[in-house]
Every structure is written in structure tokens, then in C-alpha cells.
């Protein structure tokens, strides 16, 4: 029997997307495998009319395009056009990725959200396990996966690896709350342990805030008791404390990272200077210029946007994030069977925003992916 060409194309597109998400932890080089696969997926989808944009996502689309336009306008004040071009090219790709995933969501609906979430969970769990065996030197050539005694794996920085694992950690919490299976309990412990051995303070805060937001949303939507989760956190907290306290290397490194570092003062000064410069210029000094105008990078997404894209740029991006949260919140309220997915997305986005106060996250692929997931409709077949 001949297969339906439409169904065959759907399988190809979703298979390529699965490969893209499945390789999202391999980003040492650029373009990374996940980028190549995602671009291929979106191009094939566009060629075969498998992208659809409903009026309900026009606000998000307008805000993303406005943000790109502000980036272009700020080119008039750049110090280094070459730096500006290379930096804005990545920003354009992030917007392209957002648009592509949202367009696919318009066709496949919550099916796409489920697929991406599950694949992300499994690759996140595998990445966390690899981080743990790397930290404890259980694999050969483990030195290649470290940076300053912190696990980075195939990311460029431990400060990216940690936040990358927050979304799958939230999925494990949600599934444990829903089904009560020990498998998800263990998965959450493994992923959280992977976040810990990155020794990124911002990632730790990201995880903590995301969990709190998820618990609040759980009470709002489900109005269910969360004793199962409270017991889970209590048990895991005791286990984690015991492991850290009894391992001298872990205890020393954990204690050191909890305190202020020498470079923290420099970062705060850089953020202050970025804000002073940016507040006086409505369009900023141009994309990628902050490292040239300041002694060190601001290490704060909003301070960076302020100095590079001006007040107009930072407001546009913040409104875009808020609009994404509102979109996910509306889907959460209206959805009867897929509530957890939108709770996870909202919690992860808010956690990433808190993370952004200490790290520049504008070019984090998983951040833009989360922002795209927030716009995917809760209907099983998309808008069509």
C-alpha cells in the first residue's frame, strides 16, 4: 500500500527535528550539528508548506522582528563593524530558529511540544550522567571536558551546561508528580547532580527559582497537594548534603563557589558602566560592542542589551519574553491534558531570566527554544 506523501513528509521533518534536539548538547563548534539539522528541518518544512503562523503569534513575531530591526539601526554607532556583523548574525539565527519552531507548532500543535520535551529530557538525562562520570574521573580523557575544574562537556562553558539541564529536571519533577514512578525520582536526582557539578551559581539559582515557580503553578492549576514532591525534595536534599559533606573535593569546591569570587566585583562594575552608557543612548552602541567598550563583558543579558541596543532594545526583548509567558499561561489554562508541558516551559523561562541577571544568555539556543515552545498551541493538530 502506498504511503500518504503528507504523512511521509511529516515523519521526515519530525525525525530531523528529533536529531537536532538530540544533538543539542554538542555545541563546541559553530555551526553545531544541532544548528545544521535544525536549519535543514525548517527549510524542508518551508519547502513543503509545513510551517504555519496564526494571528495569535503575530505579536511575538512582530516583537522579534522589531528587536532585529533595532539591532540593525544600532549599526550606525558600532566601533567594530566586523564584530557587529558576526554577533548579529547569531542573533538572526536565533530569531530564525524561534520562527521555525513556532511555524512547525502551527502545523503539528502540542504533538511537537511533546516530542521536543521528551527528546530534550532524555538527552538532558544522558548529558547529566556523562557530567557525573566525568567529574569523578570515571571515563578516559576526562580532562578535555573540564574548564577551571568545572565540568563543561561539549559546551563552551560550564555556565551554559548547568542551565541547559534545568528544563529536563523540571520534566522529571512533573512526571514524578503525575505518575509517582521512582524512575523519574532517580532521573531528577541525576540531572540535579549534573547541574551541581557544573558549579555555576547562576544555574543553581535558575533551578531553584524554576522549581518554586513550577510548584506555584501546580497549586494554581491543579489545586493538588504537593506532599509527594515535598518528600522528594527532602530526601534528595539529605542525600545531596551527605554526599557533599563526606566528599572533601566536593565540599571544598562547593563551599568556594558559594562565596563571592574575585571577578564578581569586576562584573558588577561592568554592569553598572553598561547601564550608564546605555541609558543615554536610545539605540545603543551596536551588537557585540560591549566587550570593546568595557573592560570585561557585563555578564548580564539586560545590561548587555542596554549598552548595545539601548533602552528601546531591552524593553522590546523584555516585552517579548513577557508575551511568551502570557502565551504559555493561556495555553496552560485552556489545555485539559497538556497542562504540565506549559507549566514546565513557563517555569524554565522564568528561571532562565533570573539566570540572565548573571550571564549573557542572548545566544543560548535552549533559551530561544523555550521561548518558541511557549507559542505552540495546545491543540493536537496545530492551527490547521
For residue 53, the surrounding DSSP H or E stretch is none
Residue-wise pLDDT for 6-22, tens only, equals 778 899 999 999 999 99
Which pLDDT value is given to residue 314? 94
Q: Is the dihedral of CA 256, 156, 77, 88 positive or negative?
A: negative
Asked if residue 382 has pLDDT above 70, the reply is: no
What are the helix (H) ranges across the chain? 5-22, 33-47, 58-73, 81-108, 110-135, 158-164, 166-179, 182-196, 201-221, 227-246, 248-258, 262-279, 290-293, 301-334, 339-355, 365-373
Which pLDDT value is given to residue 304? 92
- A 10 A CB-CB count for 74 gives 24
Which band of pLDDT confidence, cut at 50, 70 and 90, is reported for residue 119? very high
The percent of residues above 90 in pLDDT, for the chain, comes to: 66
Which pLDDT value is given to residue 296? 77
Q: What are phi and psi of 274, to 5 degrees?
A: -60, -40
Which pLDDT value is given to residue 260? 59
Which band of pLDDT confidence, cut at 50, 70 and 90, is reported for residue 157? very high
Q: How far apart are CA 296 and CA 263, in angstroms?
A: 10
For residues 321 and 181, which has the higher predicted lDDT (pLDDT)?
321
Place of cell 561592568: 270
Which pLDDT value is given to residue 282? 76
Kindly list the domain boundaries of the chain, sorted by start residue: 5-373
Residues contacting 73, CB < 8 A, separation 6+: 283
Which pLDDT value is given to residue 294? 82
- Listed residue (226, 235, 362, 249) closest to 300, CA to CA: 362
For residues 44 and 222, which has the higher predicted lDDT (pLDDT)?
44
Residue-wise pLDDT for 260-278, tens only, equals 566 666 676 777 777 777 7
Asked if residue 223 has pLDDT above 60, the reply is: no
Q: How far apart are CA 217 and CA 212, in angstroms?
A: 9
- A 10 A CB-CB count for 89 gives 11
The percent of residues above 70 in pLDDT, for the chain, comes to: 90
Which pLDDT value is given to residue 2? 44
Asked if residue 247 has pLDDT above 80, the reply is: no
Which pLDDT value is given to residue 336? 74
Asked if residue 345 has pLDDT above 90, the reply is: yes
Amino acid at each position: 500500500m502506498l504511503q500518504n506523501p503528507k504523512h511521509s513528509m511529516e515523519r521526515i521533518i519530525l525525525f530531523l527535528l528529533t536529531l537536532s534536539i538530540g544533538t543539542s548538547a554538542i555545541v563546541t563548534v559553530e555551526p553545531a550539528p544541532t544548528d545544521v539539522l535544525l536549519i535543514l528541518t525548517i527549510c524542508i518544512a518551508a519547502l513543503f508548506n509545513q510551517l504555519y503562523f496564526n494571528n495569535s503569534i503575530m505579536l511575538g513575531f512582530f516583537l522579534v522582528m522589531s528587536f532585529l530591526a533595532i539591532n540593525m539601526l544600532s549599526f550606525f554607532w558600532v566601533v567594530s563593524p566586523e564584530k557587529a556583523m558576526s554577533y548579529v548574525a547569531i542573533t538572526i539565527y536565533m530569531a530564525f530558529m524561534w520562527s521555525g519552531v513556532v511555524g512547525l507548532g502551527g502545523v503539528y500543535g502540542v504533538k511537537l511540544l511533546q516530542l521536543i520535551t521528551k527528546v530534550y529530557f532524555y538527552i538532558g538525562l544522558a548529558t547529566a550522567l556523562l557530567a557525573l562520570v566525568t567529574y569523578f574521573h570515571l571515563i578516559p580523557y576526562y580532562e578535555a571536558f573540564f574548564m577551571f575544574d568545572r565540568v563543561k562537556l561539549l559546551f563552551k562553558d560550564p555556565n551554559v551546561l548547568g542551565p541547559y539541564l534545568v528544563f529536563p529536571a523540571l520534566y522529571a519533577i512533573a512526571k514524578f508528580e503525575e505518575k509517582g514512578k521512582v524512575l523519574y525520582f532517580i532521573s531528577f536526582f541525576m540531572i540535579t547532580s549534573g547541574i551541581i557539578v557544573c558549579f555555576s551559581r547562576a544555574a543553581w539559582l535558575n533551578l531553584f527559582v524554576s522549581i518554586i515557580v513550577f510548584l506555584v503553578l501546580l497549586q494554581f492549576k491543579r489545586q493538588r497537594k504537593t506532599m509527594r514532591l515535598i518528600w522528594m525534595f527532602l530526601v534528595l536534599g539529605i542525600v545531596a548534603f551527605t554526599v557533599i559533606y563526606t566528599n572533601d573535593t566536593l565540599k571544598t569546591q562547593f563551599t568556594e563557589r558559594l562565596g563571592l569570587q574575585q571577578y564578581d566585583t569586576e562584573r558588577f562594575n561592568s554592569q553598572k558602566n553598561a547601564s550608564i552608557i546605555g541609558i543615554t543612548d536610545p539605540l545603543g552602541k551596536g551588537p557585540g560592542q560591549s566587550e570593546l567598550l568595557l573592560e570585561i563583558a557585563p555578564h548580564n543579558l539586560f545590561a548587555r542589551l542596554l549598552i548595545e541596543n539601548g533602552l528601546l532594545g531591552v524593553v522590546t526583548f523584555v516585552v517579548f519574553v513577557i508575551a511568551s509567558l502570557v502565551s504559555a499561561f493561556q495555553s496552560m489554562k485552556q489545555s485539559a491534558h497538556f497542562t504540565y508541558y506549559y507549566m514546565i516551559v513557563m517555569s524554565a523561562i522564568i528561571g532562565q531570566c533570573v539566570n540572565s541577571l548573571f550571564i549573557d544568555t542572548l545566544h543560548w539556543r535552549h533559551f530561544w527554544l523555550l521561548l518558541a515552545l511557549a507559542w505552540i498551541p495546545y491543540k493536537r493538530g496545530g492551527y490547521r
